[in-house]
Amino acid sequence: MPDDALLEIDDLCVAYDGSNALNGVSLRIGKGELICVVGANGAGKTSLIRSISGIVPSSRGSVRINGVEISRRPPWDICEMGIAQVAEGRQIFSALSVEDNLLIGGSLKRARHDLANTLDSVYQLFGRLRERRDQLAGTLSGGEQQMLAIGRAIMSKPEIVMFDEPSIGLSPALTDVMFGVVKSLNEQGITVLLVEQNVAKSLALSSRGYVLENGSVVLHGSSRDLVENPDVQRAYLGL
């Protein structure tokens, strides 16, 4: 566990219509870390991301960034405090241009002072977006839309980016590209929380991992230890 935790989650519980989606989840992410949360469909991974973001209210527990409690704050305040989310399904603004989508991401107070430089950085990372800057976002390919969703998150000048199933709907080749982008962002100093069904790739990329089952953390530790764990090998790696 990191001593210099950027994001701290303690005993987090989330319920939908009386059914528990998260049951006392606790985890820590240190500044500059890349950690993954893995598990099967319905394990609670997306509920965890949405609760951290303030989109889904928690029924119990604590979420803190840099020691400040955020579990009762609205989503826009949480974004302003440095947490960005790349949502499952991308959720771009289809009727707006590529550049307008990016500028929306840069509209936070924390990001406005360096808007032009950040936009240029995104275009350097994703040359395809620069080529299509005036194109309607809804006309992009699936891979390009994922690039746009990541670029929009970067525009907010986040301390931590949370990725919710970034490989969904992508070809194996594009999946490799997306994981490469995640690694590159982390190497630039951005803390990353990666939520993914692709357990093998997630553990290969991250330093530590948490395994969710039925809304609870059932295993956590270094990614190397998890890869070698017989239960993980049998349930998620096909070994």
- For the chain, the domains span 1-82+159-239, 94-158
pLDDT in tens, 79-98: 999 999 998 877 899 999 99
With 90 as the cut, is the pLDDT of residue 102 above it? yes
> Would you state the structure tokens that stand for residue 30, as one six-digit string?
């240190």
| 34 half-sphere exposure, CB direction, 13 A CA radius | 22
- End-to-end distance of the chain based on CA atoms, in angstroms? 28
Taking residues 166-186, report their average pLDDT.
89
* pLDDT at residue 3, rounded to an integer: 59
Taking residues 183-204, report their average pLDDT.
93
Instruction: Assign domain 1-82+159-239 to its CATH superfamily.
Output: P-loop containing nucleotide triphosphate hydrolases (3.40.50.300)
Which pTM value belongs to this model? 0.92
Rounded Cα–Cα distance for residues 156 and 104 (Å): 9
* pLDDT at residue 2, rounded to an integer: 55
With 90 as the cut, is the pLDDT of residue 4 above it? no
Q: Which of 138, 188, 143 is nearest to 161 (CA)?
A: 188
Q: Which of 47, 45, 38 is nearest to 17 (CA)?
A: 47
